[in-house]
Structure 1
């Protein structure tokens, strides 16, 4: 067997040393002719997007502003509140009370004196009211018995 590519046999150096001039070919890119979009295609795209946006906007239910509700009168607002509470009982819970005191569903509470607070952490940085601290400690103890470590 006279195969110069096999290991252990010397290769013919005259064949190996000849390096062609164009060893690395020049990178040539194929140019694709990109046709610019015509004006009517762009206009049609814009009109289509506006139409889709208009349809989407028209499907969103519009809620009346607070000023419009106050102008409509007490009778219509109480009737609409009754209808709304029948349809959605959760909404009736949020509408009860004075709207000035209710900010995003959060009611104001009086502030507890710092002497009435009990620490719930070892370093004492986090404090709760006495009843809440007892419930938290009971919850943490139950979690610890279950193998859960609260951080």
Structure 2
């Protein structure tokens, strides 16, 4: 039996090498594609927030809206002068007047107080522009007061509640020395007004620490007992 001769391994033909090369190329491309997809997803997860996301995560900043200019002057609001035909006397000599509704309410209040032994008296009611001009400018000049200080105790003409015919300065007939002073708050007249004025639709115009910055005036009251008086004092303040 003859020995079977050992055959030398033959090199694979060129077509096999070509096939292997193609397979390797495909594998390389596949790996590259997978890597690219993974990187894209990673970048997407780290993307910048959209405008919608920002609105959800960032608190909105307040808008700077200009506040409408107020018509107030030195803390006082503008008021129209009441027509003379609508005024009615509240004193026997007719020197002090209020609008009809306010006058009737004041006289009823005065009578109610007197029935309890309290003597409330009117010191000032309706005031014209001419009168207010004197009280503000002439008195200011004679006392040497600066404008802002004068405005704390007196309104410029055109800006006084007394123009409306609804405002009245009140004193205690039994203690006239307290008229137009802080000491009026110690009188029986003031205490009675505090407890009863609202029943007659009167309210204190300038209480302590009022938002207008006007000095406390325990003697200055205003009538708000009908729609016109209510609108006169509250619409000008922007209150509804």
Which interval holds the TM-score relative to the shorter structure? 0.3 to 0.5
Question: Radius of gyration: which is bigger?
Answer: 2
* Larger RCO, structure (CA 8 Å, separation 6 or more): 2
TM-score (norm 2): 0.22
TM-score (norm 1): 0.34
Q: Which has the higher strand share?
A: 2
